[in-house]
Structure 1
């Protein structure tokens, strides 16, 4: 389960990265960039359209991309001409600074008052912008959580097969599911009989014994075979030896008779093999001189001695 959770988390992260951003997300990204890099305020970008914000963002990106660092050759070439201009400007500024000192002292008082008002206004704007950002972030988080819940709900109904972890599934895919059995035959080849199962597409499966057949067919196939035998013979025992054994095994399996002597005779023999066929869900129990087949869901009149012998022998199963 931990591996599957990690796998689903990785898939969700990939899908998020592949998913292109929406228009509102693009506006939020460009607005945050313009606030941090371009120095724009929230009120300046609040009522602007997507195209207007896109133009501002493109202009800001051009300014950043065309920026020349101080160590570049363009800046160095300009330094020589700029030095001469700076000397002249310094001499002029020295004269102006003396005249401006007196006027600046007078203006300081009025500036301090105006700065105090501006700071209060800026603090209020920052608080309102922070509230708006928190609100936008909450809305995006709620939207992403809803999408993740929908994905998890959808993937709960899917079976994920990984290279390092294989999950056993009982269901047979529709493309490989065999067709229904329409006919069966017992064909003698020399001194031995073979069970031939013919399906709807006239394909034939050949088995040398009942055990081999139960290992390779499904429970649905087994019930279909019993219906074919039942319609052919009913409750009358066949005369042929192979047909009689086949009919007897199926009859004991599907319609066990409590009054039959077979159940009492089992207690006199020891169990040699007790096996479970997973595909057909049938128990096979072999004694010293006979054997029986039992369906997993049915109850059979086994004596306590027979049951203890079976438990002492222990069942053989794939899982």
Structure 2
């Protein structure tokens, strides 16, 4: 009996130790479970965010993408010259891809130009002539139109001559942001964002032409309806 009792004393473990260890084990398991739950929530959140950014489209579905093909945008202008065919002369505009196009008059360029193309041509003309005045008639016309448009000056002859001229047409080239004013014996090209020294009579005639155009459009619409 003594030996049995002595053995029990030697192998005795406090029951509180068992409770503490059991509590610690449970706490560890709960911590692991909580960590797993948190990781799952984070993973689900990340997956949701990715789904918002990406749209998976099945291969069999046809998808239409609204994009502007690169070929639509014309390359920059790198040079220009006067091309003659018999008695006719043309402006030959040469682009970065070495392709060229012919224009008989400046207004034809404005119909197909974007603003950057117009600015490219202006820099080329200015670099070629600087402060000099070209001799050839077509060169002079191009240089003069560009100079009036980009380097307007109140003392230029064109602004003085408008006093006695009647406005025949007022037109906008929206692709390059230029509007032209056709008057008797001359035509003025102006950038839409700049202010030019137009006289009150000229402005009045411009508004009159614009009003008549609006009324004509309204009349045409009423006829169609």
For Structure 1 versus Structure 2, the TM-score category normalised by the shorter chain is: 0.5 to 0.7
Structure 1 stretch 242-251 or stretch 175-184: which is displaced more? 175-184
1:314 match: secondary structure: helix
**Count of aligned pairs between the two proteins:** 161
**TM-aligned CA deviation for residue 172 of structure 1:** 5.3
Task: Please give the TM-score of this superposition, normalised by the length of structure 2.
Answer: 0.63
User: Which residue matches 1:253?
Assistant: 149
Q: Deviations over 1:228-258 (max 9, x none)?
A: 1001000211011111111001100100011
Distance 2:68 2:117 in 1: 13
Larger radius of gyration: 1
Q: Does structure 1 residue 187 correspond to structure 2 residue 92? A: no
2:120 aligned partner: 224
Paired residues for 1:257-276 under 5 Å: 257-276=153-172
CA change 1:279–1:231 in 2 (3 A) is same
Output the CA distance in 1 between the equivalents of 2:141 and 2:82: 11
User: How many Å apart are 1:298 and its aligned residue?
Assistant: 1.1
Task: Map 1:1-319 onto structure 2 (within 5 A).
Answer: 150=52, 173-314=69-210
Contact 1:264/1:303 (8 A) holds in 2: no
TM (norm. structure 1) is 0.45
Unaligned stretches of 5+ in structure 1? 1-138, 152-159
* Distance in structure 2 (CA, Å) of the matches to 1:260 and 1:228: 22
CA RMSD of aligned residues (A): 3.0
> 1 or 2, which has the higher helix percentage?
1
Report the secondary structure of 1:286's partner residue: strand
Structure 2 CA distance, aligned partners of 1:237 and 1:228?
14
Q: Secondary structure at the match of 1:283?
A: strand
Name the structure where strand makes up a greater proportion of residues.
2
Kindly provide the CA deviation profile for residues 214-240 of structure 1, in whole angstroms up to 9, marking residues without a partner as x. 101111011000101001000211011
Report which structure shows greater RCO (CA 8 Å, sep ≥6).
2
Q: 1:6 aligns to what?
A: none
